Every structure is written in structure tokens, then in C-alpha cells.
Structure 1
Amino acid sequence: MIFLGIETSCDETSAAVYDSCSGIKSSVISSQIDIHSRYGGVVPEIASRNHALKIETVFYEAIEKASISVSDIDAVGVTRAPGLIGALFVGVSFAKGLSYALKIPLIPVNHLSAHIISAELTHPELVPPYTGLIISGGHSHIYQVDKSYNFRLFSYTVDDAAGEAFDKVAKMMGLAYPGGPAIENLSTKGNPDAVKFPVAMKAQSNMSFSGLKTAVMNCLNQGYFTKADIAASFQSTLVQTLINKSQIALKHFNSDKLVISGGVACNGYLRDKFLEYFKDSCDIYFPSKYLCTDNGDMIAYAAYKFMHFRKFLDIKGTARDNESSINTII
């Protein structure tokens, strides 16, 4: 079967084609990073308008690269939540039109679940059950995935997401957007042990990064340390926090497989530290860096995985901007 995946949850317009026999056949992304960088972050209205401008072009390019015709599509998967409501609306509306015109199933996909199972595209040997840590600009969650691809929420951030903390700290330092790569690059010139930043909620499963962000701001104002040392210490503290929370989850579920996905999972320092820390106790799976950012590949693949046991979205289905639980959207 041929599955089309459409992703428009934030600032990437993406479409991909997945063949259940041969895997990903095409993947196209139109990024808005250059547009939003001048504002220091994503502007929802601008993102929505650009999705509307790009979605048709991206779709046809994905079809052409896959060497198929539109009529060959057997089902369409689309990100329904979470994300920017205007951006989601563009993708859901386009997918509903295709579903109606082609008389094919429309499969709603939760963006977070797709990020987690995208690791299976990079690691075909990976099968659930496993624990999934998703870390991005909007989310920091830990889920347990069972054999039927049901997602049980274990922990989440009570304030800033990990990627949001990277972006805000980078902005404090006068670095470019997006902040994650800028902080990672600056950190290579600093000492990760220079500043002892506080770690919030040490003994709890949930996460908090707003206090760390405030501590960085105070440290910058004091002027005792170089920006490189502050960046390196901030990055080290945040990564160690994620390691600690993952360890709690793995112990709780008696799990020996950990998937780490989302934009922050592109960070090389984070990858090295997780692999080092869990080398003797747990198998670590990262998607490729391409799949860590928003993409249609993971939506098409999730649609394939979810088609046989999830409800379809009818023509009256709507986009949703936020979901507390993956299970509630389907």
C-alpha cells in the first residue's frame, strides 16, 4: 500500500510517500527557518500563511519524486495535533480534500507519536515495547509504547520544553535562532563544569527548565563567567536532567530500550552523553538527524502503522492545537 504523509504542525511544510513494501519513496520539506529567524522565533500567523502557499507544491513534488501518480495513493496520514492551530488547519484541510476526492482513508496522526516511532525507520530491528523520550521546541515528554502502539504518558515538563530553553538561553546570549545549534557550537569552546546550575524536581518524574533558564540569566548578568562556559554548563545540566528523568522511566517500566527523538535529539553532545551513560544498561535508539526535525516521513510511516487499529478521521474532523495524551486524538 502507498501512504502519503502530510506535516504542517509548526514551521515546516512537508509531504512524504511511504510504500509498505519498500519504505520511504520520497520526502520533501519546505522550511521557514529563514523567515522566522528575523523574529527570533516562530510567528504563528506567518507560519500558517506560508503553509498555505507551499502545501500544493510540496505535495506534487513528493508525488513526482516517488514516481507515482496521485491515484496510486491508498491512504493519507496527516498531523492533527499538537501544534499551531492555524498551521495544523492547512495540512488537515488539504488532506481532507485528497481523502474526499480520491475516496481513500484519512488517518489522523499525533505529532509526538510519529516522532517517537520514526526511530523505527532508522532502526528496522526496533519493535515495541520501548520507552520514548521526545525533546523539541514545544515538548519534553516521556512515553511508554506497548506492542499495539498504545502510548502511555509517564512524565512531561511543567513549564518550558527543552528546545524552548535552548532558544531562550541563546536569545539571552545574543545568539542566532534556532538556539539549539548555536548553543551546541558555542559550548565546544567552554567548560561544562564551570557553572553549577540548579536541577529542579530531582526526585520527581516530571521535568522543569524555567529555573535553569533563570539561573543562566542571573549568571550572565553577574559577568563572572564567559558565555562559552555558561553555554556549556547550561547544556550539560539540561542533558543530565534528561538522562536522570529517562533513568526513572526505564526503571519504572523495567524497560531496556530507549528511543530519543525530536529536534533537540540532533544535539551531538546529548547523543554522546546518552550513549555513554546507558551503554551497559539500555539500548539507545536515535532517529537520523533528518527524522528528528519535523517531516512527512514520520507521518506517512505512522499512518501505515496505525491504519489497522486506529479510527479514521471523517470529513468533519478538525485540527487540534494541543493534546494532553496521545491516546485521546484517535
Structure 2
Amino acid sequence: MPYLVRGLLAQSGANAESLTPVRGLPLQQLVTLSQGAMPQSVVDELVRSANGGELPSDSEPTGWVERVTPGRFAGMTVIVTGAASGIDKATASRIAREGGRIIASDIAADKLDAFNAELPDADIITVPGDLTTQDAVDAVVAAAEGRINALANVAGINDDFSPAGETPDAVWDRVIAIDLTAPFKLMRAVLPVMEAAGRGAILNVSSEAGLRGNASGNAYTARKHGIIGVTTSAAFMYGSKGIRVNSVAPGGVATGIPFPKNVSEAGSARLAPFQQAIPSVATAEQLAASITFLLSNDAVNINGAIVASDGGWSVQ
């Protein structure tokens, strides 16, 4: 198979080094990661070429395999933002399959309905809406009907990779509104419910960009640093009240979510060498494993932690 992949790369003008971060991914995941550049037919043809012209039937998975823990979230109501796609959807799915009641929020109502349909036996309440508005925040909290055991603030967007000197107001305002202000407002809304219950868990997704300055553009980096500050402050303020607040900082993730249009050439050129040093790219399910651990009672003694789930990128 390696020589076949090298041949495919040669046809596209790329080289084997460009695939270094994704070597640990299932071949199928490249379809998602490529954002349409590598269709399913290409992967099928690679497999046929390596398998005597045949597509094998279902076989045992290799590498990391998600291991669902039955009942880990039984009796718990968990709010998950952005639940219609990406890491957000993988998180909501795992919690639901582990017995949790999900309040699933996303701006894309049709995708939320599709997610709900994928798990017909799960307890999922969908609440479409734009969480940059207070009405949407209020609707999510109301849907929980007074019981909120955990909150996963996962939803977010990227910026245009621009440095501070060229970041447009529109990019800054949108990224901060969606990625920092909205999760803060939702966290602020659920804390009184958790405080009254005497316990709760909040997980705010940060990023490698929240740990360094060379992983993304100015707006996204500021947002990710900001959510870490929100997390550690809340962990300090509410830890004595039985509420744990933690963050997961992902590195490269194969979600297939496209970057914004009009990416900054200057910013991209400056960031490229550091982004190419990503040691590995994770699947959405692998990130969900880190997130759900911190939300679960298995993380009972963890509060105020910023967990780098980045394949070791942060130690380079």
C-alpha cells in the first residue's frame, strides 16, 4: 500500500512527507480530511490495487478503536454545542451511547435532525439556534428542564490566519462572538443550576493555539487563550462548590470542516512551517474520548486542567 499512496501523491505533485501527520489515521479518514479533494472512489481504487482488484468485506479494525463505556453518563443531562458535526457531534454521540441525555445545540437545524436520526434509541433533545444570541442560550437551558450535569462547549470556527496588523473587524468580531462570548454566556447560564445541585462539570474546548502563538491567526489565537482564562478562573471560583471546569486543547484534527475563505497569505506563510510540524492528526472520535473523560465522573479529582490532546505537538 505505501508505494501505491506514493504514486497517488506523485500524480498530484505532492510528496510522502506531506502525509507525515496523518500516517496514523485510517485510510478512510483521508476522505473526510481532504474536504472533497480525495473522493471515496480514489480510496476504493487504492484498496483494490492492493487487494487483487477486490474490495474486502468488513474486517477487524486496526489501530485505535473507540471503546464505549456503557452507563458512564447514565442519569446525566449534558449540553453539547455544535453537535451537528465534527468533534462536537462525536462528543454528543459518545455521551448519548454511554447513557447520557443530550441537549444538542447547533445553528444547522437540518444537520441536528440528521444526527438525532442516527441514534434513534438515544435520549437527544435538539435545540437549533445561534448561541451568539441570548434567546438561543435561554432556549438551550430551558430544554434541560432544570437539570444540567455537564456542559461541553465545543462549537467554534477558525479565523483567516491573519496577523494582528491585518485582521479585519468582521473576522475578529465573528470569531470572538462565536468562540468566546457564546461559550462564556452559556457557561454563565448553567452555573447557577449546577451550583444549586452542588455539582457539575464544564468542558471548554481550547486549542494548540491557546498554548502558543504560532498555531493560527490573531483572532483565533486570542479566542483560544481567552477560553483558557475563562476556564481557569471558573475552576478557581467554583471548585469549592463541587463544579469542575476543564479544557481540552486539540492539535490537528481530521474533521473535514473547511477553513474560511480569503485566508491571509502573509499569515499562512508565517504559520506554515509550524503547522507542518504537527506530529499527528487525530480523528473527531479520538478528541471526543479526551473530552468525555473530563466530563465524566472518572475525572472526579481534575479541576482547572488544560489537557493538550495534540499528539505531543505542544512539547515540540
**Would you say same fold, with TM above 0.5?**
no
Tell which has more relative contact order, 1 or 2 (C-alpha 8 A, sep 6+): 1
After TM superposition, the score normalised by the length of structure 1 is 0.31
After TM superposition, the score normalised by the length of structure 2 is 0.32
Structure number having the greater strand percentage? 1
